[in-house]
Amino acid sequence: MKILRILRGLMAFLTSIPMKMDEDFLELSARFMFLFPVIGAVIGFFAGIYSFFTSYFLSLLFGFFNATFFSGSQTTFFLYITKVLASVMTLSFLFVLTGLQHTDGLIDVGNALGIRKASFEERIEIAHAWIVTRSGALLALFVSLCTLLLIFLAKPEAIIRFLIVAEVSAKLAMVTCAWQGTSLQRGKGSIFVDSIKDMHSLYLTSLVASLLISAMLLGLKGTLAVTSGIVVGGLFIVLSKRVFGGVSGDIFGATNEIARMIAMSVLVW
């Protein structure tokens, strides 16, 4: 029962799936943050299954439409449309499944990056404000479009494994960021940083689990994709110090989105 409670808390924190949440689910999620990559694998599996069946359904629909009205003469065109629509729907599903919380963090970090010669307090304030600046919108749009393109370029027969490894890498990047990041001592981010800061055994568990999942699914490419997550997490540790003075919840969100994109680029290479 305790294991189910832990997994339920982690799923409630990382997704928008309606679940019964305990009062201490936030602290519970922070304490077991090292299991984020495992939840990432579940998220990737859900997204992969959705993508696979969406592509299958659309191919049947457009195949029927093509054969009925065009006598099969527009096969290439309809195959392209099927792939585009399936990619858009897959990315949309990921946004819905995660409740856009990571994308919101990406926008907030973009907002803060657009302010030059500002103090940490001013950047934190603009990040928490209910506004979207040009820099925030452009960063989110760039990352989203790149992710969409990479989903489009993924091999259809490997889309489930592709999305699982990408999500595992994204979650490991978040764990890396917390493991060696500096706590701001304010907001949700500090709870997660404080729970795993310099806890090397927990981080090693997270790393090994991520490598095992990715290696079993996609071999060397999967391993390289997970490694890219470690690099992105390290880069965001540096960025967080320069922008906010430490790791915040927004930094975690931005780390997730960019690490997923980078992992996907490794996998399609």
Q: Is residue 198 part of a domain?
A: yes
DSSP state of 158: G
Q: How many domains does the chain have?
A: 1
Rounded CA gap, 36 and 117, in Å? Answer: 35
**What's the pLDDT band for 129 if we cut at 50, 70, 90?**
low
Kindly give, in sequence order, each residue whose CB lies less than 8 Å from that of residue 72, ignoring residues fewer than 6 positions away.
66
Rounded CA gap, 105 and 198, in Å? Answer: 24
Q: Is residue 18 part of a domain?
A: no
Q: Which of 37, 19, 5 is nearest to 196 (CA)?
A: 37
Helix (H/G/I), strand (E/B), else coil: 197: coil
**What's the pLDDT band for 120 if we cut at 50, 70, 90?**
low
Q: Is residue 7 part of a domain?
A: no
Residue 234 · residue 203 · CB < 8 Å: no
pLDDT digits (tens, 9 = 90+) for 49-71: 999 999 999 999 888 887 887 77
| pLDDT of the residue at 231 | 96
Domain carrying residue 140: 36-268
Helix (H/G/I), strand (E/B), else coil: 199: coil
The one-letter code for the residue type at 102 is H
Residue 94 · residue 240 · CB < 8 Å: no
Q: Is residue 202 part of a domain?
A: yes
Q: What are the Cα distances from residue 212, in Å, to 208, 215, 226? A: 6, 5, 10
Q: Is residue 148 part of a domain?
A: yes
Residue 192 · residue 246 · CB < 8 Å: no
Residue 90 · residue 54 · CB < 8 Å: yes
Mean residue pLDDT of the chain comes to: 87
Tell me: pLDDT of 182 over 80.
yes
| pLDDT of the residue at 22 | 66
Kindly give, in sequence order, each residue whose CB lies less than 8 Å from that of residue 184, ignoring residues fewer than 6 positions away.
124, 190, 193, 244, 245, 246, 247, 248
Q: Is residue 24 part of a domain?
A: no
Rounded CA gap, 105 and 89, in Å? Answer: 22
Q: Which of 255, 190, 195, 251 is nearest to 28 (CA)?
A: 195
Residue 256 · residue 170 · CB < 8 Å: yes
| pLDDT of the residue at 110 | 86
How would you label 35-52 residue by residue, b for 16+ Cβ within 10 Å and e otherwise?
Answer: bbbbbbbbbbebbbebbb
Helix (H/G/I), strand (E/B), else coil: 22: coil
Residue 266 · residue 168 · CB < 8 Å: no
Tell me: pLDDT of 249 over 80.
yes
Mean pLDDT (whole number) for 140-159: 95
**Cross-strand bridge partners of residue 247:** 183
| pLDDT of the residue at 189 | 72
Q: Which of 232, 253, 13 is nearest to 127 (CA)?
A: 253
Mean pLDDT (whole number) for 256-260: 95
Rounded CA gap, 7 and 38, in Å? Answer: 9
Q: Is residue 22 part of a domain?
A: no
